[in-house]
C-alpha cells in the first residue's frame, strides 16, 4: 500500500438510478453517493461499468457529475469514468471532470475497434492528455478485457507512465487475473493499482495495491472498509473469507441487475431496480429469491438497511 | 433479389477524411461521396465501421450528414449508421437521419455490455423506434459480431420484424458466415439482406439478397456494380472471381488504413491517409508496397484514378 497515492481504499462505481421517464434521477443518485461515503467508501468512481455509464450520453454524465459536486461531495474524492470510443467525447468528459476538481478520471480505452495497435492506443491517451492540457489531470487506466475486449499491456502501461509521469498514475484491473495484477505491481511499483474486485483486496494490499474499486461496494462498503482499515491485523484473512464468500454469491447472479434489485428492496423503492437497455431488471421472483439467499448466507441485510 | 426493396445494389460505407486539425473534413467527405455515386454505387452508408464512425462524436456525425444532404446527394439513397451504446445517442442520430429524409439507418446493437439478453436488445430497438416515432423510419440491423461482439440472433430478427413490420426491414451481415446469411434469407425471405462483403455478392443475389454493403466499395465500386448489373449473365462467375481475388488481397492488410492509403495515393492527397486513434495510418513504405501489389495483381489503379 502506497502512502502517497492520490486515491486509496474502497471505491464504489456508483449505480445510476433512473426515473419513470427513463432519465437518470439526480436526487436518488446523489442520495446513493452520499450514503456510500457514509458507509465507508473512501472515494467514488461514478460512470463505471456498474453505473451503466456506457448506456448514458455524454451530456447525461456531465450533468450527473455536476449534481454530485453541487451537492457538496468532495470532488477530490471523485474518479469519474471518462473513457469513450471517440477521443472527442473522452476529451469533453475529461475536461469537465478536471474543471470540476475531480481527483482523477478512470478511462476505458476506445473499445469498438478490436485489436488496436499499442501505438494507436498510446495516441488516443496522448491526445486526451494533450487536449485537456491541465496538470491537475490524473488518469487511471481502466483494464476490463472481459467487457471492453481491448485492454492495456504491460508495455503500454510503461510507455504511458514514462511519457506522462504524474498524469497517468494508476489502473483499475478488472481482468480477474491475479497474475496480471501481480505483474503490474512488480513491474511498476509506484503505480496505483486497484483490483476491480474485492476478491483480491487483501492479496492486493499485501503486494502493494491501493485498495479496490468494486461493484459490490455499492451494497457492502462497510465490510470492505473494515478489512481495508485492518488488513495488517490478525483477523484480516477471516474478514477476506467473508467478503469473498459474499462476492462469489453475488456473482451467481447478473451482477448489475442484482445490485439494483438489492438497493430497491432494502430502500423499499422499486424504481431503483430500473435499468436502461440492453440491461433489463431481474424478474421480481428471481430478485426476491436472490435477496433471500444473500440474507440467509451472509447476514447481508444490515449493511443495506442502514440507508 | 427483391424488387420492392428500399435499398439494393452496391452500397459504400463512406470513408471519413480528417483535416490537419484532426476534425472530419466535410469538403473531401462530400467529394468522396459524390465520386462513389459516379463510380456506380447505388447508395451510401456513411458512418459505418469503415468510416471510423465509432471514433466520431454524435455532433460530428450529425454535421457530416447535413453536409451530404446540403451538397445535393439524394437522402433517399443514404443509410447512415446510427447505432450507439447509449439509446439516447441512437435516438438522437436516428431522428436526425429521418428528418434529413434518409432512406434508412444502419444500426449497430449497443456493444459495450457483452452477452445482453435478447429481451434487452429488443427493448433497445423498440425504444429507438418508439422515441423516433416516425413512420418514414427504415431500420437496417448491423450484424458484425467480429467487431461489435454483440449480434442479432434469428429469433431476435424475427421478433423485431414481427413487432415493427415495414420499419425493421433489413440487415447487413458482416459475420463472414455464409451459413448465417443463408439462414436469414431462408427464414425471412422478405427481409432485405446485404452481405457485408462482396465475397458473397453473387451467391447472395442467387439466394435472394439485395446486393452488398462493403468497405471495398470505397475503391472498387465500378467492378462491384458491373457484377450487380449482370449477375444473371453468363460472365457472372468470372466477374465474382476477380472481385473476390481483389477482396482477398485487400484483406491481407489492415483494411481501413489500406483503403485510406489507396485514396491518398491515387488522389495524390497524402492527408487522406490520416486516421483517428485508435487507428494509425499505414507506414508509408508498407502502404506503397501494398499499393504496388494490388496494382500488379488486379489492374487496380484505373478504378481509383478516375477520381
pLDDT (tens digit, 9 = 90+) per residue, A126-166? 999 999 999 999 999 999 999 999 999 999 999 999 999 99
Residues in chain A within 8 Å Cβ distance of B120: 277-280
Structure-block grid coordinates of residue A268: 423499499
To the nearest whole percent, how much of chain B has pLDDT over 90? Answer: 95
Nearest-Cα distance to chain A for B198, in Å, is 21
Residues in chain B within 8 Å Cβ distance of A85: 54-55, 85
pLDDT tens for B31-50 read 999 999 999 999 999 999 99
Cβ-Cβ pairs closer than 8 A, A with B, add up to 116
Which residue of A57, A113, A150 is in closest CB contact with B89?
A57
Asked if residue B53 has pLDDT above 50, the reply is: yes
CA-to-CA distance for A114 and B254, rounded, in angstroms?
12
To the nearest whole percent, how much of chain A has pLDDT over 90? Answer: 95
- Do B142 and B107 meet the contact criterion of CB atoms below 8 Å apart? yes
CA-to-CA distance for A170 and A6, rounded, in angstroms?
9
CA-to-CA distance for A181 and A187, rounded, in angstroms?
10
Hey, is the C-beta of A282 within 8 angstroms of any chain B C-beta? no
| B-proximal residues of A, 39-98, CB under 8 Å | 49, 54-58, 60, 85-89, 92
pLDDT of res. B300: 73
Average pLDDT of span B157-166: 97
pLDDT tens for A178-224 read 999 999 999 999 999 999 999 999 999 999 999 999 999 999 999 99
| B-proximal residues of A, 178-237, CB under 8 Å | none
**B277/A123 touch (CB, cutoff 8 Å), yes or no:** yes
From start to end of B134-279, where are the E strands? 139-143, 168-173, 192-195, 211-213
pLDDT of res. B2: 47
Hey, is the C-beta of A174 within 8 angstroms of any chain B C-beta? no
pLDDT of res. A300: 73
Which residue of A55, A111, A120 is in closest CB contact with B87?
A55
pLDDT of res. A299: 78
Which residue of A110, A117, A278 is in closest CB contact with B110?
A278
Nearest-Cα distance to chain A for B116, in Å, is 6
Average pLDDT of span B254-264: 97
SS3 A11: strand
Return the DSSP state at B12: E
Which residue of B87, B110, B147 is in closest CB contact with A114?
B147
Asked if residue A5 has pLDDT above 80, the reply is: no
**B57/A89 touch (CB, cutoff 8 Å), yes or no:** yes
Mean pLDDT, rounded, of chain B? 95
Asked if residue B211 has pLDDT above 90, the reply is: yes
- Do A56 and B85 meet the contact criterion of CB atoms below 8 Å apart? no
Residues 6+ apart with CB under 8 A from A177: none
Query: Nearest-CA neighbor of A87 among A149, A132, A134, A47?
Result: A132
Give the lowest-confidence range in A106-110, A293-297, B271-275: A293-297
**A120/B277 touch (CB, cutoff 8 Å), yes or no:** yes
Asked if residue A307 has pLDDT above 80, the reply is: no
First vs last C-alpha separation in chain A: 30
Identify from B57, B277, B281 which residue to disrupt to test chain A contact, counting A C-beta atoms within 10 A and taking the largest count: B277
**A54/B113 touch (CB, cutoff 8 Å), yes or no:** yes
Which residue of A49, A58, A112 is in closest CB contact with B111?
A112
pLDDT tens for A63-86 read 999 999 999 999 999 999 999 999
SS3 A119: helix
CA-to-CA distance for A83 and B191, rounded, in angstroms?
37
Asked if residue B157 has pLDDT above 50, the reply is: yes
**B112/A54 touch (CB, cutoff 8 Å), yes or no:** yes
Residues 6+ apart with CB under 8 A from B30: B67, B68, B71, B73
Distances from the Cα of B120 to the Cαs of A43, A161, A272, B77, B132, in angstroms? 31, 39, 17, 31, 18
pLDDT of res. B305: 43
Average pLDDT of span B79-90: 98
Amino acid at each position: 500500500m502506497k502512502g502517497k497515492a492520490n486515491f486509496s481504499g474502497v471505491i464504489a462505481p456508483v449505480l445510476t438510478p433512473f426515473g419513470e421517464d427513463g432519465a437518470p434521477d439526480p436526487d436518488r443518485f446523489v442520495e446513493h453517493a452520499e450514503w456510500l461515503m457514509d458507509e465507508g467508501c473512501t472515494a467514488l468512481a461514478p460512470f463505471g461499468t456498474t453505473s451503466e455509464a456506457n448506456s448514458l450520453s455524454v451530456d447525461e454524465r456531465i450533468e450527473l457529475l455536476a449534481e454530485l459536486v453541487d451537492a457538496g461531495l468532495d470532488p477530490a474524492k471523485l474518479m469519474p469514468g471518462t473513457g469513450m470510443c471517440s477521443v472527442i467525447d473522452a476529451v469533453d468528459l475529461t475536461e469537465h471532470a478536471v474543471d470540476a476538481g475531480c481527483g482523477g478520471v478512470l478511462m476505458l480505452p476506445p473499445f469498438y475497434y478490436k485489436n488496436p495497435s499499442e501505438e494507436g492506443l498510446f495516441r488516443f491517451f496522448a491526445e486526451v492528455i494533450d487536449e485537456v492540457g491541465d496538470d491537475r489531470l490524473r488518469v487511471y487506466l481502466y483494464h476490463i478485457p472481459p467487457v471492453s475486449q481491448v485492454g492495456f499491456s504491460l508495455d503500454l502501461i510503461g510507455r504511458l507512465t514514462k511519457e506522462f509521469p504524474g498524469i497517468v498514475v494508476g489502473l483499475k484491473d478488472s481482468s480477474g487475473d491475479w497474475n496480471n495484477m501481480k505483474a503490474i505491481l512488480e513491474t511498476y511499483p509506484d503505480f496505483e493499482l486497484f483490483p476491480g474486485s474485492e476478491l483480491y483486496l487483501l492479496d492486493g494490499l499485501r503486494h502493494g495495491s491501493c485498495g479496490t474499486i468494486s461493484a459490490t461496494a455499492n451494497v457492502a462498503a462497510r465490510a470492505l472498509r473494515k478489512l481495508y482499515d485492518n488488513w495488517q491485523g490478525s483477523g484480516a484473512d477471516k474478514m477476506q473469507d467473508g467478503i469473498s464468500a459474499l462476492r462469489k454469491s453475488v456473482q451467481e447472479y447478473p451482477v448489475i441487475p442484482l445490485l439494483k434489485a438489492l438497493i430497491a428492496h432494502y430502500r423499499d423503492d422499486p424504481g431503483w431496480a430500473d435499468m436502461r437497455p440492453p440491461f433489463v431488471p431481474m424478474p421480481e421472483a428471481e430478485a426476491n429469491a436472490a435477496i433471500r439467499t444473500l440474507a440467509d448466507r451472509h447476514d447481508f441485510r444490515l449493511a443495506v438497511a442502514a440507508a
